[in-house]
Each structure stands twice: as structure tokens, then as C-alpha cells.
Amino acid sequence: MTAQVHTQAQIVWDYHLLNHPLEKGDCLLVLCSNDIRVAEHAAQLFLEGLAPYIVFSGGVGRLTAGLFERSEAEAFAQIAVDMGVPEQCILIEPQSTNTGENIQFSRALLEAKGLDPQRIIVVQKPFMERRSYATFVHQWPDKSVAVTSPPLSFDDYPNEQLSYCDVINVMVGDLQRLQRYPALGFVVAQEIPAHVWHAFQSLVALGFDEHLLDADI
């Protein structure tokens, strides 16, 4: 990775991070994916007493087809149980395939269980914090929400499942979605500073376009 790519990618990474302070909530809502570190982070937060129960939300997405033997939510829930989270403190939503459905289906599950959490801690990958927040506030505006992710830097984040290129492509795609989705009614608008948008355009010009909605940016 060149110094130019690293500099621009760091700008986008930093923008996606919200750095919300965490206080005790009523529920941990985990947006599942191909990164089991999110499950581990959520389980640790539960064990530290941040919330009385966890909802794991996620079906089988493009990046997890064939990765787990079952849904993302079920795989993540098993990780939490193995870490000491009691099964009775876990709810599983195994159908959602995108962030909007994560929120919609989890909300329906909680309502069906007669649960009405007011303060929700959303747990997600670092570079998807902002879109998760913007989606949650649009879908469930009457709740208080904080978003958190595994405490990893941009340089520490890539692993065997997610390369630097994978992370940059998804970050770039999510930034484009934050710019476009408010007009489509998917998220609440987020201010995108000029230097962040410039970094986005630079990365696209350098070929990081695999996760874009289309070629028209």
C-alpha cells in the first residue's frame, strides 16, 4: 500500500468512527458480519455489565456465504456463549441481510418479546459505525443510541478475512452510501467534510471501487 493510499484511507477510517462514550444501556444490538471480533467485543461489553441482554442480528450476506455453518447471528451468539454470556440473555434475529433490515427486524423481535429498551448500544465494525448510526436514527428515532466497535486502529484491523483492500473498498462504498442514502430515505443525513470527500474521490480514482453502488459518483 502506497503512502498516498494509506493517508487517504486513514481520513475515511477516522470519519466513519464516532467515538461515542459508552454508558450502561438497556440492550446491546450487534450487527453481525464476517468479523467475529464484533461478537467478542459485544460479549465483553455484556460481561462488563453494559446491558442486561444482547440481540444478535444477521442472516447470510454476500461476504459470509459459506463462512459459517449457520446464520451470522447464530454464529456470533455461539461465540458469546463460549465467552460466558448466558443463553437466556441472548436474542437471535437470523434473517436480515443489510443494515436497514438489522434495525427493522431486531425492533420487531424485541416488540414481539414485549421488550422496549430505551438506551441501545449498537455494536458494529469500526468502519461501519457512522452508517449504522445514521440508519438506526432514521429507523428508530425515539430511542437513545450509542455505537461502538472493537478498539482497533486502521493498521491493526486487517486480518486473514479482511485485507487492507477489502477494508478500503467497503469504507469507500459506505461513504458513498452516506452521501446518497438520505435522499432515498434510508438514513439521516451526515455532514461529510470536504477533505473527507476528497479522500473518497482519490481512493476511487486509485481503483477502490468494488463496493460502490455504481460507476456514477
Helix extents (H) in 125-205: 129-139, 164-184, 194-205
CATH number of 20-148: 3.40.50.620
At 126, which amino acid appears? P
Q: How confident is the model at residue 212 (pLDDT cuts 50, 70, 90)?
A: very high
What integer is the mean pLDDT of 64-93? 89
Q: Where in the chain is the domain with CATH 3.40.50.620?
A: 20-148
What integer is the mean pLDDT of 170-196? 96
* Per-residue pLDDT tens over the stretch 189-207: 999 999 999 999 999 999 9
Q: What is the mean pLDDT of the chain?
A: 93
* Per-residue pLDDT tens over the stretch 24-75: 999 999 999 989 999 999 999 999 999 999 999 999 766 555 566 789 999 9
Residue 41 corresponds to which cell in the numbers above?
467485543
The pLDDT of residue 162 is 83
The pLDDT of residue 70 is 84
Which residue's entry shows cell 463460549?
Answer: 82
